[in-house]
Amino acid sequence: MLATFLAGTGCVAAIVFLLFCYRGFARTQAADPSKKKNRYVFPLDNADHIMHGSKKTLLAVLALGLFPGAATRAQAGGQPAGDANAKQVGSVTAPQAVPADAAPAAPLASPAMVGPLSTASPRTLDAGPFGKLDVTGILSGFGYWQGHPVSSDQAARADVSNGQVFIQKTSGLVQYFLQAGAYNLPALGAPFLSTRNTISDYFGPLPQAYLKLVPKGNFSFLIGKLPTLIGAEDTFSFENLNIERGLLWNQENDVNRGVQVNYAKGKLSGSLAWNDGFYSNRYNWLTGELTYAPNAANSLEVLAGGNLGRTAYSSVATPLYQNNSDIYDIIYTHTAKRWMVQPYFQYTDVPLDVKIGVRRATATQGEAVLGSYNVAPDLTMAGRVEYISSTGSIHNGAVNLLYGPGSDAWSLTLTPTYQKKAFFARGEFSVTQAVNYAPGDAFGPTNSGSNQTRGVVETGFMF
């Protein structure tokens, strides 16, 4: 009775809150996006594709390609083997407790969701010559408060976080996936951008869309706007343990335009992709993924990617330095009946290239642990702790990849999540601390503060 009452009250409150968020979405004025995701834009107009020696990335990715590979990161979490269309936290869906009065849901492999949220069973439509289509979606809004906002940001705001529909064909030789609608990309340590500006400055109203050919059960070929293979966290808030992405995610790409080959056999799976990196529309990135899952409770992923040429182009979605970098991840995931833990390591390197302003090779190294625990059938507590450092200094020509050359940062995030059938509500508390930062590159109205505390609420409906 109490749970039913709370769920009903929550649904009414969520509807009111979503209306308020929509009002904020409709009235939002353009904000300064120059520091979104801590990606510093270097304004160059042209782009050339000269091979400049990212040989270690090429060797690493080609080594991955020698293995049968394709990519599902979710073999232990109930996702179909060989469907590695997106990065997933540890390739494993966090365990979900099913209420006694609800039929078990049958979530689809796309969009990738690691919990604690889950979509409803898809609605199936007969689209005639287009085959039988599965349709799911999400409608949600979020609000936040933060200390020490930068000059381009606000202390508090409400907006639409997701208003998306997912349409896909999941059987036969020719399959496809379409993701359309509104979205926001909140990230720790970076200014918030309005949902309206996020859509226009990043991936448009169709952020992911691809055609998939499946000639054999363990092999597939994809082409289109694809989820990146890199990293442990997915792009959209509903896909992850936490509402906001972390500091390590700020160094990673999100959506790639390109082609990808997937293959899986037994305990091994992998993927190899040729794409445009940080959404540059310059096709000189190669990424690969290899996953070993000895059993349903454990998996180990090795990821590598990098720019094999030079891309002298930048935008909000295409940060110059990160788009010319090499990146490596090692991710281990362990799941149990009620909990999941996932440590991972990340290394990035921006090679010397004076033509794009990199006068000294600069690197980052990060470590993080993500985890979740099912407190009750409808309630999950998730958390994330991470630390990242960068090399160089202001005086030796290193570029800025964090909060000034040679800066470090750590963060702590806690996210309780409640979901009752279609309705969900999440809260989040986070602290981000910059270390050895450069005045003018951190927090506060003058960008000279050392830390930022945030509180975020997100609520809505999965359908």
What is the torsional sign of CA 64, 69, 74, 77?
negative
What pLDDT was estimated at residue 460? 96
Give residue-wise pLDDT tens across range 232-248: 999 999 999 999 999 99
Pick the most confident of 76-80, 129-133, 263-267.
263-267
- Across 90-105, average pLDDT: 40
Q: Is the dihedral of CA 425, 415, 404, 303 positive or negative?
A: negative
The sign of the torsion formed by the CA atoms of 73, 86, 119, 215 equals negative
Across residues 340-347, what is the average pLDDT? 97
Is pLDDT of 263 > 60? yes
Bridge partners for 165 per DSSP: 137, 180
Confidence of residue 107 (pLDDT cuts 50, 70, 90): low
* Position 418 pLDDT exceeds 70: yes
Average pLDDT over residues 321-350: 96
Rounded Cα gap, residues 311 and 320, in angstroms: 8
Domain residue limits at 33: 2-462
- The more confidently predicted of residues 29 and 271 is 271
Considering the chain, what percentage of its residues have pLDDT values greater than 90?
67
Residue 23 reports pLDDT greater than 90: no
pLDDT band at 129 (very low <50, low <70, confident <90, very high): confident
Interval 6-34 mean pLDDT: 46
Convert the pLDDT of each residue in 288-320 to its tens digit: 999 999 999 999 999 999 999 999 999 999 999
- In Å, what is the CA distance from 92 to each residue of 76, 236, 336, 340, 415? 5, 17, 11, 9, 19
Segment 207-234 mean pLDDT: 94
**Percent of the chain at pLDDT exceeding 70:** 77
Residue with tokens 């960008």: 447
Give the 3-state secondary structure of residue 296.
Answer: coil
Average pLDDT over residues 94-103: 42
pLDDT of residue 78: 33
What distance in Å separates the CA atoms of residue 86 and residue 266, rounded to the nearest whole number? 20
- Position 243 scores a pLDDT of 97
What CA–CA distance (Å, rounded) separates 113 from 390? 30
Q: What is the DSSP string of 245-279?
A: B-TTGGGS--EEEEEEEEEEETTEEEEEEEE-TTT
Token pair for 313 = 């182009």
Lowest mean pLDDT across 72-81, 92-101, 165-174: 72-81
DSSP-derived secondary structure for 383-444: EEEEEEEE---TTTT---SSSSTT-EEEEEEEEEEEEETTEEEEEEEEEEEEESPPTTSSBT
24/267: higher pLDDT = 267
Give me the chain's average pLDDT, please: 82
CATH number assigned to the domain comprising residue 402: 2.40.160.10
Check pLDDT > 70 for residue 155.
yes
Q: What is the distance between the alpha carbons of residues 170 and 124, in angstroms, rounded to a whole number?
A: 11
- 258 touches 225 (CB < 8 A): no
Looking at the structure of the chain, the number of domains it has is: 1
Q: Which two tokens stand for residue 261?
A: 């080959």
pLDDT-based confidence at residue 25 (cuts at 50, 70, 90)? low
List CB contacts of 427: < 8 A, sequence separation 6 or more: 415, 416, 455, 456, 457
CA distance 243 to 449: 24
pLDDT digits (tens, 9 = 90+) for 36-60: 454 433 333 333 433 344 444 333 4
User: How confident is residue 325, by pLDDT bands cut at 50, 70 and 90?
Assistant: very high
What angle (nearest 5°) sits at the alpha carbon of residue 428, between those of residues 426 and 429? 160
Residues 133 and 172: beta-carbon distance below 8 Å: no
pLDDT (mean) for 427-437: 96
State the Cα–Cα distance between residues 262 and 407, nearest whole angstrom: 38
Task: Tell whether the model's pLDDT for residue 101 goes beyond 50.
Answer: no
